[in-house]
Amino acid sequence: MWRNRNVWIVLIGELIAGLGLWSGIIGNLEFMQEKVPSDFHKSLLLASGLLAGILVGPLAGRIIDQSNKKTVLIVSGIGRVFSVFFMFVAIATGSIWWMLLFLICLQVSASFYFPALQATLPLIVKDEDLLQLNGWHMNVSTIARVAGTAIGGLALVYWPIQSLYIISLMAYLGILVFTFMLRIDEAGTDKVIVTNGPRTDGFKEVFPMLKGNTPVLLTLFLTLIPVLFLGSFNLIVINISEIQDSSSIKGIIYAVEGVAFMVGTLAIKYIGKRYSTKSILFTFVFIIGFAEMSMYFVANPFLTLVSFALFGFSIGCFYPTALTIFQKQVPKEYHGRFFSFRNMLDRVSFQIVLLSTGAMLDLIGLAYMMVIFGVFSIGLTIVFLLQIQRRKLSFQIPTA
């Protein structure tokens, strides 16, 4: 796998893009803290961008399946580059509306880019290398997240907020250059798409495939559980910073969670050889629920970091396993629409979580909200597990 130039292009490109993305996110949080006092209003602003991504999801899936994956990556990459200019205007004018345009443009571009990227990975490596590539891809994303947030926090100390978006702009231009260097052979998948005729029904053809594919359907439901934490992550970090009266805790939290995530993506290669897929998925969603409940002690910096470390390690093991199930079990001619559907489902969930988080933070506070999240996560996991055992369903996936 490591002799494959496409693998290096994807990983190095992800590192560069991630540095820009997370520097920009630190800038977004800083801008919202200055301009938007209410947590609920912050969540509405973030949810508006997600809504735009949701609306283009069906179109994105059809286009990805019908088009050259590299072309989709390039066009969506150009969209990300242009989105940054809206944020420069927002900073210059102090207007939240320009930031809203930035978020919409960025999320629409992401609705095309990330499903196309997930559909591309199985085309550049053999099936037996997918789990390893997924792990390394997530690992590089996390390194970029840790480094990007650290760079963003450091830049804010010495330079104005515009510097963060200059970093983002250069990074998005860098990933665009790397995308042009990709060499993807889509001959086999193109033939399948053509012989089946034009794809005009969006996600309608995905649903019958899901009904007949138990591991994929159940894993898709399970991936919704970590969204409770992930969807509210940025608002949680802002609140922890305010509760502990520490601006530096933001960077420390991102670093601890990121390092734990990387350890998880490395450990899953060995855990996967010893334990069944079902055991891995359910064990780590249980731990995610426990990590959420432990956030009740949010005023304690040490326990807070332990909670984020547990969460980071768990999703580091959970997501590469889930993604490998999707890539191996979903037929390749459905990859574009399936990953767009999953992306849209995540965005809907993120939007619900964002709005709920904003409202609950204003009404009951962070500590009690996290207990509710934890109880809900563990309860839902138990319900899924009992249903699977009662119906004797299997999660196991092919080994090649």
**Alpha helices of 36-159 — where are they, by DSSP H?**
39-55, 57-66, 69-93, 96-124, 130-158
First and final C-alpha spacing in the chain: 15
pLDDT at 187: 62
φ, ψ of residue 232 in degrees (nearest 5): -105, 10
157 domain-assigned: yes
Q: What total number of domains does the chain contain?
A: 1
Residues of the chain with pLDDT under 50: 190-201, 400
Q: Tell me which residue of 62, 60, 80 sits closest to 13, measured CA to CA.
A: 80
pLDDT at 190: 46
Q: Tell me which residue of 154, 144, 146, 143 sits closest to 27, measured CA to CA.
A: 154
- Rounded to whole angstroms, the Cα distance separating 265 from 230 reads 17
Contacts of 392 (CB under 8 A, 6+ apart): none
Mean pLDDT of the chain: 83
Q: How far is CA 395 from CA 278, 364, 375, in A?
A: 6, 38, 24
194 domain-assigned: no
Percentage of the chain lying above the pLDDT 70 cut = 92
- Is residue 160 within 8 A of residue 168, CB to CB? The reply is no
Sign of CA pseudo-dihedral 324, 325, 330, 331: positive
For 54, other C-beta atoms within 10 Å of its C-beta total: 20
pLDDT at 397: 54
398 domain-assigned: no
CATH of the domain at 78: 1.20.1250.20
127 domain-assigned: yes
Give pTM, 2 decimals: 0.69
The domain of 247 spans 5-183+201-391
75 domain-assigned: yes
Q: What is the crossing angle of helices 96-124 and 301-329, to 10°?
A: 50
196 domain-assigned: no
191 domain-assigned: no
pLDDT at 196: 42
- Rounded to whole angstroms, the Cα distance separating 253 from 87 reads 25
Q: How far is CA 296 from CA 301, 367, 370, in A?
A: 12, 4, 6
- Rounded to whole angstroms, the Cα distance separating 368 from 307 reads 15
For 231, other C-beta atoms within 10 Å of its C-beta total: 26
